[in-house]
Amino acid sequence: MPKPNPAILARKAQIVARLQAVLPADAVIFEPHETRAYECDALTAYRCPPLAAVLPRTTAEVSAVLRVCFEEGVPVVPRGSGTSLAGGALPTADCVILGVARMNGVLETDYHNRFIRVHSGRTNLSVTGAVEADGFFYAPDPSSQLACAIAGNIAMNSGGAHCLKYGVTTNNLLGVTLVQMDGTVLEIGGAHMDAPGLDLLGVICGSEGQLGVVTEATLRILPKPEGARPVLIGFDQNEVAGACVSDIIKAGVLPVAIEFMDRPCIRACEAFAKAGYPDCEALLIVEVEGSPAEIDEQLALIKAIAMRHNPVELREAADEDQAKRIWLGRKSAFGAMGQINDYMCLDGTIPVTALPLVLRRIGEMSKEYGLDVANVFHAGDGNMHPLILFDANKPGDLEVCEAMGAEILKLCVEVGGCLTGEHGVGIEKRDLMAVQFAPDDMEAQLRVKDVFDPAWLLNPAKVFPLSVTAGRRAA
């Protein structure tokens, strides 16, 4: 991270006093033993306590805080629930963390027009929680959905397992209340569809908190399907599993999820969760939705396609309990890995057709670098999740792991994919941006930030290589 600005550190007392003047006493955190709580997000390898943290309760308070920081020239790092795997909410010593966790209310629920308006600190799962009794749900479902906030989902344009059918955050976001760095409050979008002019909402979503602070969001809610049922299909070759995914998609069935696990992942999950998975090379979990008869029809088609690929196992859930068992192993994949070892989770996306090649290359890299890799991913949309296992207590292991991770992501770009499908760039993949983008491509993005945040104070050290943004951040 860039060196903190000593002039800001020296003015800490004055800055804190100004923040206290615009916020209730309990909303400003500045004692070193308290700011420690904000020193990192879920990318825990990097830590740095902020100058201060503020926890506003209203859009007006957010605006007041940003105005103060703008006038003082203090960088601001917005924070949802702090679950970023990419270091999106990592502080610098001279920044103010602006946490929206206390803004978690439901502001409006409208079933006729199928939207909900919430404060952005509300957790993803509790958005669905607010409407599910009435038969609705909010579709994006990142695996951290119990904890992660809508603010962070919007910042990272989060996905989840069901994107193939329902899209990611940007496809389910109708409007936001955005506070700019100078405190200006904007309403963009709303309960209606599409923008009258330029689609600012589209570029705000996924901008990693660099364009403004989202305090309220209007989200599309959907009627819950009548039912859902998974089928588990095991193969003795990754290539064959990949071909099966392609054939399912081509056949005109649109499953809500197609999850893929490779042998190391299957074994770890089985040891951890005892879901009864077969010991095979590759495993698919395909889930479809609808009435019981509709599910039967779609699963029959999927099973017929799978049979053409000679699966070693084909298991349909006969009831709710069996469905849970099929998902059990997959859902505990990250926990299972965490129990074995420290791990780094990447999320590069590749064209589905490149799957066999990429898996083979990752296997080779695993040998070269001497670190085990387990693969679990959203196969329908090509969003990989290689988990590289390492030992944080072994000197040098993290560095080897990061180097290997970088090689995997370069491979994703090389085959026509991208560095990150749903976690965001943050600090983690910042320095790899030049792999995917030519200088002109990056410059076009920087120009957008110039317009929204000319002083470059919002989350300034993220997304782009520090060398690329140095001139602007100093400005």
Partner 1 sequence: MRPTTEAELAVLVRGANGPLRIVGGGTRGIGRAVVGETLETGGLAGISLYEPGALTLVAWAGTALAGVEAVLAAEGQRLPFEVPDMRGLLGTAGDSTLGGVVAANASGPRRLQGACRDSLIGVRFVDGMGIVVKNGGRVMKNVTGYDLVKLLAGSWGTLGVLSEVAFKLLPVPETAATLGLSGLSDAEAVAAMSAALGSPFEVTGAAHWPGQGTYLRIEGFAASVAYRAARLAGLLTEFGEMTVEEGAARWSGIRDVVPFHGRAGDVWRLSVKPSDAAGIAARCGGEVLYDWGGGLIWVLVAEGTDLRAVAAPFAGHATLVRGSAATRARVASFHPEPPAVATLTAGLRAKFDPRGILNPGLLA
Task: Return the residues of window 37-96 that contact partner 1 according to CB under 8 A.
Answer: none
Output the DSSP codes for 234-264.
EES-HHHHHHHHHHHHHTT---SEEEEEEHH
Contact region for partner 1 (CB under 8 A) — 62-70, 268-276, 327-335, 346-354? 346-354
Contact region for partner 1 (CB under 8 A) — 89-97, 121-129, 308-316, 420-428? 420-428
Euclidean distance between CA atoms 245 and 235, whole angstroms:
12
Residues 213-272 that bind partner 1 (CB under 8 A): 223-226, 246-247, 249-254
Can residue 339 be called a binding residue for partner 1 (CB under 8 A)? no
The strand pair at 185-189 and 257-262 is best described as: unpaired
If the CB atoms of residues 260 and 464 are measured against partner 1, the closer one turns out to be 464
If the CB atoms of residues 76 and 205 are measured against partner 1, the closer one turns out to be 205
| CA proximity to 437, closest of 423, 415, 412, 418 | 418
Residues 6+ apart with CB under 8 A from 92: 1, 2, 4, 48, 50, 75, 77, 461
Contact with partner 1 (CB under 8 A) among 94, 270, 422, 428: 422
Instruction: Dig out the tokens for 375 from the structure.
Output: 């693969």
Residues 11-30 that bind partner 1 (CB under 8 A): none
If the CB atoms of residues 93 and 168 are measured against partner 1, the closer one turns out to be 168
If the CB atoms of residues 125 and 191 are measured against partner 1, the closer one turns out to be 191
If the CB atoms of residues 230 and 421 are measured against partner 1, the closer one turns out to be 421
Q: Tokens 């395909």 — which residue?
A: 286
> What is the maximum alpha-carbon separation in the chain?
71
Can residue 314 be called a binding residue for partner 1 (CB under 8 A)? no
Contact with partner 1 (CB under 8 A) among 150, 350, 362, 371: 350
- Residue 144 and residue 76 in contact, taking contact as beta carbons nearer than 8 Å: no
- Residue 84 and residue 92 in contact, taking contact as beta carbons nearer than 8 Å: no
Write down the least CB distance from residue 306 to partner 1, Å.
15
Write down the least CB distance from residue 424 to partner 1, Å.
5
Contact with partner 1 (CB under 8 A) among 63, 436, 459, 469: 436
Euclidean distance between CA atoms 275 and 267, whole angstroms:
11
Can residue 356 be called a binding residue for partner 1 (CB under 8 A)? no
Can residue 423 be called a binding residue for partner 1 (CB under 8 A)? yes
If the CB atoms of residues 91 and 160 are measured against partner 1, the closer one turns out to be 160
Euclidean distance between CA atoms 208 and 422, whole angstroms:
11
The 139-178 contact track toward partner 1, x by CB under 8 A, reads -----------------xx-x---x---xx-xx-------
Instruction: Dig out the tokens for 72 from the structure.
Output: 């003082």
Contact with partner 1 (CB under 8 A) among 40, 381, 388, 408: 381
Residues 6+ apart with CB under 8 A from 192: 174
If the CB atoms of residues 123 and 207 are measured against partner 1, the closer one turns out to be 207
Euclidean distance between CA atoms 64 and 314, whole angstroms:
58
Specify the DSSP class assigned to residue 297.
Answer: H
Residues near partner 1 (CB under 8 A), total: 93
